[in-house]
Amino acid sequence: MAAKKQAALQFDMSTVTGLGGFTKGHLSKYRARAQKAAARVVNEAETGKLGFWRMPSFWLSGSRFRTLQKQANELGKRYENLVVVGIGGSSLGTRMLLNALGHRYHNERPNETRGGMRLYLLENNDPDSFLALMEHLDLTKTVFNVISKSGSTAETAGQFALVLNTLRSEFPDNWQDHLVFTTDPEKGSLRPFAKEHGITCFDVPPDVGGRYSVMTTVGLLPALCAGLDVRGFLKGALEMAERCSNSDWKSNPAFYCGAVQVAADQEAGKNMVVMMPYADRLRDWTEWYAQLWAESVGKRLDESGTKEMGCGSTPIKTLGAIDQHSQMQLYMEGPSDKLLVFLRVGAFGKSVKFPPKTQLPEDLHYFSGHSMQELIQAEQTASRFALRKMNRPSYQIDLPAVSGHSLGQLCFWAMAKTAFAGYLYGINPFDQPGVELGKHYAYGLLARAGFESYAKEIASAKAPKDEDIL
């Protein structure tokens, strides 16, 4: 019997145009440009120019996935803890996968029920966080996965240096066994170090940037080590890739939503996009999405590097229903400069029913006969309808459940939408020159060779006057 095909994501766009000054006319102005951008994305996907696009089929064809699963299993046999040392695109995808697909208290569960290794992350260069984790871990049961394509990312390199020093002190004869690297196949500083010391390396495809890398070994290896549904994640992504291979932008969910966000920004002043899932499991998805969108479309220059653009809308991370009580007042009655995107989950993992009326105070009787799922879904429906009444635009993504399959669809949709939106803006959605500039100044302050001029520039800047210091 053929396997039952799992449900696809649905996109309800009925409350976008006609609200908050954003009209169908605004969107129609982008028809020719959108069709051109759509054709470009599809062509680049078909010809292999979009590295992230081919990742689902890459892993699900041949024996590649089985090999990676076997390698993850081998790590799990030797160690109980996996620590990802990385930041940004090297960590956000892993955190998102664990939050969405793992048990809420994954690391606290006993070995026999956890289903995989404990998974921790060293991301920010906060000494308190670093020391707290290092003091918590049993290093004899721990392997560190250092993830950096270049090997030179300051936050990752700094923490790797500290981890390396600790391992050499604790395990002078076999410190190498407690390290694996995920890095560029040939370039960067980690590759020669690994070769010299016999450290296992996993490849990051050269044509896949960090914020698009969740479907490479960057995200997949830690997820497999933790025992998450990676195969379902890739299958969902593959189905969405097929769905997004339609160059008719109006019937392609990634391209149409991308066009809506660009047009709403440039034509109607909706320069902020509020992502609001109504499920705790999708909390970290909003952070992963925020980097993907912000770093991809927020650009000063056009794709040729000659025209000033200053484009991009700002992603805002929220969580329903929590942020109904902290931010929704602003969205309802504040400046009409936002487009809201609701993520609604059809079925949660387990049903929690409210008690019967006889066990409730009288003013809580209305809960009787309902469940927690009904309550959070009612809150989402009510928020969207209230925004509509207040003339505020939004659209809704319906997930059948928070599963590997639906999450794979959602992540691939977001990446395809972002690439398309970048081309529609007229910029390069795959570079990050602004981030690189900040890194160069930081390297200069730390006296890294080759970056002395950046330190001199900071030193020569005018000091604040006394009246400018409060």
Single-letter amino acid, residue 18: G
Cα separation of 341 and 330, whole Å? 15
Neighbours of 358 (CB within 10 A): 7
DSSP 294-354: HHHH-EEE-TTS-SEEEE-PEEEE--TTGGGTTTHHHHHHS-S-EEEEEEEEEE-SS--BP
Structure tokens at 56: 């689902």
Using a 10 angstrom Cβ sphere, with 0-12 exposed, 13-18 middle and 19 or more buried, the burial of residue 398 is middle
Active-site residue list: 295, 325, 439
Residue 433's closest CA among 316, 296, 263, 340?
Answer: 296
CB-based contacts of 138-141 (< 8 A; 24+ apart in sequence):
138/80, 138/81, 139/166, 139/167, 139/170, 139/171, 139/178, 141/79, 141/80, 141/81
Helices (H) and strands (E) in the chain, counts: 18, 12
Cα separation of 430 and 449, whole Å? 27
Q: Which helix (H) or strand (E) holds 122?
A: strand 118-122
Q: Which helix (H) or strand (E) holds 200?
A: strand 200-203
DSSP summary character for residue 22: B
DSSP 424-446: HHTS-TT--HHHHHHHHHHHHHT
